[in-house]
Structure 1
Amino acid sequence: MSVLVVTGTDTGIGKTVFAAGLAAALGAHYWKPIQAGVEPDGDKEEVARLSGLPAAQILPEAYRLATPASPHLAARIDGVTIALDRLALPQVDGPLVVEGAGGVLVPISETLSMADLFAHWGQPVILCARTALGTINHSLLSIEALRSRGVPIAGIAFIGEAHAENERIIPLLAGVRSLGRLPLLDPLSPATLAQAFAAHIRLSDPFNG
């Protein structure tokens, strides 16, 4: 089984759309272990809509929390205790795309962040980043947080309008490879996502950095 973890520099930057495109391109299973906020739908429903993958390849969450908040807070409000043993990677045939919740250092509990969970898994991570102002700092800090925990980084994927300097300087300063830039899509559909992903994202050997 080959695993790629998709995370982001922040919430709401498009990593679910990227994860859907990635899972579709690889014919992978998709799993979001912790979903916080399900109105009107959670991210796995969005991935199912955008990826066109068979329903059996969209795996159920380990935790599906009603409150749209950081996982540690959503769990507290919902009266749930998040346990590490329930977050073991599911065993599937073929590749698995795993999507984190929020940014790299979002807390899962009082003692565990998403980056700590990634370190526990030991699988390569793709960092999704905005192209807009502020992304240099956010991206470099996220990469430092991952590296300080020994998390392997498969690359950085930009999402948004073109910004040649940000897309150049971040991989250079961080020493990570750029996987390309996924443009904002209107309309956003399975067809437009698949086309844009094939045209703009480089996946030569994503499992081996």
Structure 2
Amino acid sequence: MNTLLITATDTEAGKTVLTTALAAYLQKYYPQRNWGIMKPIQSGVGDREWYQNLFLLKQSAQEITPLYFQAPLAPPIAAAKENRQVDLAVVWQTLLGLQKRHDFLLIEALGGLGSPVTEELTIADLAGQWRLPTVLVVPVRLGAIAQAVANVALARQSGVNLKGIVLNCIQPRSDAEIADWTPPNLIQSLTNTPVLGCLPYLDNPTDLDKLAQIASDLDLEILDTF
């Protein structure tokens, strides 16, 4: 069983784009493989609905997202507004069940690597404790190098099995901007973590053929999971 956690430096960095691209890649190039998607915790309408609309998943809504809160806030805050708790046991049991049923499981984390899951734990803590192979998405913008360095340091501190970094253009970027703001060689040198490639800005993020092609351009062999 292969599992891959997709996390990022912060919110709106491109986790959903990368997860969708990898799912489209699996669907197009490995149609015989039984794969699934998980968004362990979701606050507000968003990613679960996105995946249900794009893919014919053999999963219930509860299996895609075992913990769902109404307010689009950090889970401990959203849970408190509903007089609930963030029950990670439910997430863990759902994860184990999906791993048994699927050859490959894509897990999209919430927020960034340092985002709170509970009042005591962050995404980095969870990734480390649950031993989830992880990819970090870094948005192409000024300050991205520092974000990459800080997040890789957090990953190491938390014992995360960080497989690589994927750069993502959240807005249209020129080759010069990508080279100046997120030079792969410098990021790799500073973090000692491979940069798997750069996702271009997409006008139509629902074009599964384009997404599959973009994913195929990434250095997926480094992940040793596909």
User: TM-score over 0.5 for the alignment?
Assistant: yes
Which of 174, 192, 196 is the equivalent residue of 1:179?
A: 196
Which of 65, 73, 76 is the equivalent residue of 1:61?
A: 65
Match of 1:9 in 2: 9
- Residue pair 1:17, 1:47 contacting (<8 A) in 2 also: no
Identical counterparts, % of pairs: 33
- Residue pair 1:16, 1:47 contacting (<8 A) in 2 also: no
Matched, 1:30 2:37: yes
After superposing the two structures, state which structure 1 stretch, 176-185 or 78-87, moved more.
Answer: 78-87
Aligned counterparts, 1:96-135, within 5 A: 96-135=105-144
Across the two proteins, how many residue pairs are aligned to each other?
202
Match of 1:156 in 2: 165
State the distance in 1 between where 2:26 and 2:189 align: 27
Question: Could you list the per-position Cα deviations for residues 40-95 of structure 1 after superposition, in whole angstroms to 9, with x for gaps in the alignment?
Answer: xx202223444xx4221574211111111111211111222012212212323201
Match of 1:137 in 2: 146
State the distance in 2 between where 1:170 and 1:57 align: 37
Per the alignment, do residues 138 and 205 of structure 1 end up closer, same or farther by CA in structure 2, a change over 3 Å counting?
Answer: closer
After superposing the two structures, state which structure 1 stretch, 80-89 or 53-62, moved more.
Answer: 53-62
Deviation at 1:119, TM superposition (A): 1.1
Match of 1:190 in 2: 208
Amino acid at match of 2:183: E
State the distance in 2 between where 1:54 and 1:112 align: 33
State the distance in 1 between where 2:26 and 2:222 align: 11
Match of 1:93 in 2: 102
| Divergent runs of 4+, >3 A | none
State the distance in 2 between where 1:129 and 1:87 align: 26
State the distance in 1 between where 2:58 and 2:66 align: 16
State the distance in 2 between where 1:144 and 1:167 align: 18
State the distance in 2 between where 1:187 and 1:60 align: 24
- Structure 2 SS opposite 1:55: coil
Amino acid at match of 2:218: I
Give ranges in structure 2 of 5+ residues lacking alignment. 28-34
- Residue pair 1:19, 1:47 contacting (<8 A) in 2 also: no
Q: Larger Cα Rg: Structure 1 or Structure 2?
A: 2
Question: Could you list the per-position Cα deviations for residues 150-199 of structure 1 after superposition, in whole angstroms to 9, with x for gaps in the alignment?
Answer: 1111100000034124132212210011110010111222222223222x
State the distance in 2 between where 1:34 and 1:207 align: 26
- Residue pair 1:124, 1:207 contacting (<8 A) in 2 also: no
Deviation at 1:2, TM superposition (A): 0.5
| Normalised TM-score (structure 1) | 0.89
Task: Give RMSD over aligned pairs.
Answer: 1.7
State the distance in 1 between where 2:103 and 2:149 align: 31
Which of 59, 74, 86 is the equivalent residue of 1:82?
A: 86
- Structure 2 SS opposite 1:185: coil
- Residue pair 1:6, 1:15 contacting (<8 A) in 2 also: yes
- Residue pair 1:67, 1:74 contacting (<8 A) in 2 also: yes
Which of 75, 90, 93 is the equivalent residue of 1:71?
A: 75
Match of 1:167 in 2: 183
